[in-house]
C-alpha cells in the first residue's frame, strides 16, 4: 500500500527559481492538503482541496499555488522561491474533515 | 492567533514512566480532536482521536482525556518506552465546511532507557 506519495524527497533551489511539488494518493480520498513544517511552528496549512475541482487557502498561502489535477493528485507550486520558503512540506489526504489524515513522508526543500 | 496551545515543548521521561502532554483550545465549534505521532524523517501518523461526546478514550498504553468545560484535552502514555520517543502533535477541527485541522506546535518526547 503506497498511501500518500510525495516527489521529490529532497530539493535545493536558488532564490527566484520555480518548482512544483507532486503528491498522489491511492486511497480514493476526497480531501487533500499541503502543510509546511518548521522548527517550533508545528504544521501549518498552506492550501487544501475538500474535493476534486475545489481548492482553498489555508493559514500561510502567500507565495504558493496549487492544482487539484484529479482525485488522486494535488500539486504545490512555488513560482519564485524565497529563502523563507525553506521548510519540510507534507501532503496529506482524508475522506472528510473528521477522519484521519494520512501523510506522505515529506519533501525537504532548501532555498539558497 | 494560535487556536490550539500545546505544552510542554519537550518532555523527558524514564522508561516505564507516564508521559503527559496537554492541549487547550478556544474554538467551541471544534468537534474532532486527534493526536499525531511523528518520527524523524517521516510524516505524522494518527495515534488516537476523540470526539467531545466522551471524556476518555484508551488504546493500549495511550489514553486521551477530554474536558469539554475547560476546553482542554491531554495525551497520557503509560509505561513509556524508548520506542515512544517521537514528536507528538495535538490537533482539532470543526464541522461546518472548513475541512481544516489546526495543529498544536508539537511536543518532543524522549524516553530514556
Q: How confident is the model at residue A24 (pLDDT cuts 50, 70, 90)?
A: very high
Least confident residue range of A7-16, A47-56, A102-111? A47-56
* Residue B3: per-residue pLDDT: 87
* CA dihedral of residues A56, A57, A61, A66 (deg, nearest 10): 0
* Residue B96: per-residue pLDDT: 62
For residue B17, the distance in angstroms to the closest alpha carbon of chain A comes to 25
Query: Considering only alpha carbons, which residue of chain A is nearest residue B89?
Result: A42
Percent of residues, chain B, with pLDDT higher than 70: 95
Q: How confident is the model at residue B94 (pLDDT cuts 50, 70, 90)?
A: confident
Q: Is the pLDDT of residue A40 over 80?
A: yes
* Residue B13: per-residue pLDDT: 98
| C-alpha cell recorded at residue B18 | 507516564
* Residue B31: per-residue pLDDT: 87
Interface contact B32-A104, CB threshold 8 A = no
Residues B43 and A30: their CA atoms lie apart, in Å, by 20
For residue B113, the distance in angstroms to the closest alpha carbon of chain A comes to 26
Phi/psi of residue A85, nearest 5 degrees: -90, 5
Enclosing H/E stretch for B94: strand B86-94
Percent of residues, chain B, with pLDDT higher than 90: 81
Interface contact A58-B103, CB threshold 8 A = no
Residues B77 and A21: their CA atoms lie apart, in Å, by 36
State pLDDT tens for residues B31-49.
899 999 999 999 999 999 9
Amino acid at each position: 500500500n503506497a498511501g500518500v506519495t510525495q516527489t521529490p524527497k529532497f530539493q535545493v533551489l536558488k532564490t527566484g527559481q520555480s518548482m512544483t511539488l507532486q503528491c498522489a494518493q491511492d486511497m480514493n480520498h476526497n480531501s487533500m492538503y499541503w502543510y509546511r513544517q518548521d522548527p517550533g511552528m508545528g504544521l501549518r496549512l498552506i492550501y487544501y482541496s475538500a474535493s476534486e475541482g475545489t481548492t482553498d487557502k489555508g493559514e500561510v498561502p502567500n507565495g504558493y499555488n496549487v492544482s487539484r489535477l484529479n482525485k488522486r493528485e494535488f500539486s504545490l507550486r512555488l513560482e519564485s522561491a524565497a529563502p523563507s520558503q525553506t521548510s519540510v512540506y507534507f501532503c496529506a489526504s482524508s475522506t472528510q474533515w473528521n477522519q484521519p489524515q494520512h501523510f506522505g513522508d515529506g519533501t525537504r526543500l532548501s532555498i539558497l | 492567533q494560535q487556536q490550539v496551545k500545546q505544552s510542554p515543548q519537550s518532555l523527558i521521561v524514564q522508561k516505564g514512566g507516564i508521559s503527559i502532554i496537554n492541549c487547550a483550545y478556544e474554538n467551541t465549534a471544534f468537534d474532532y480532536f486527534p493526536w499525531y505521532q511523528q518520527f524523524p524523517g517521516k510524516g505524522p501518523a494518527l495515534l488516537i482521536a476523540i470526539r467531545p461526546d466522551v471524556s476518555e478514550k484508551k488504546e493500549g498504553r495511550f489514553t486521551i482525556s477530554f474536558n469539554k468545560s475547560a476546553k482542554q484535552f491531554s495525551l497520557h502514555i503509560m509505561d513509556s518506552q524508548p520506542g515512544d520517543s517521537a514528536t507528538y502533535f495535538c490537533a482539532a477541527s470543526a464541522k461546518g465546511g472548513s475541512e481544516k485541522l489546526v495543529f498544536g506546535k508539537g511536543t518532543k518526547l524522549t524516553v530514556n532507557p
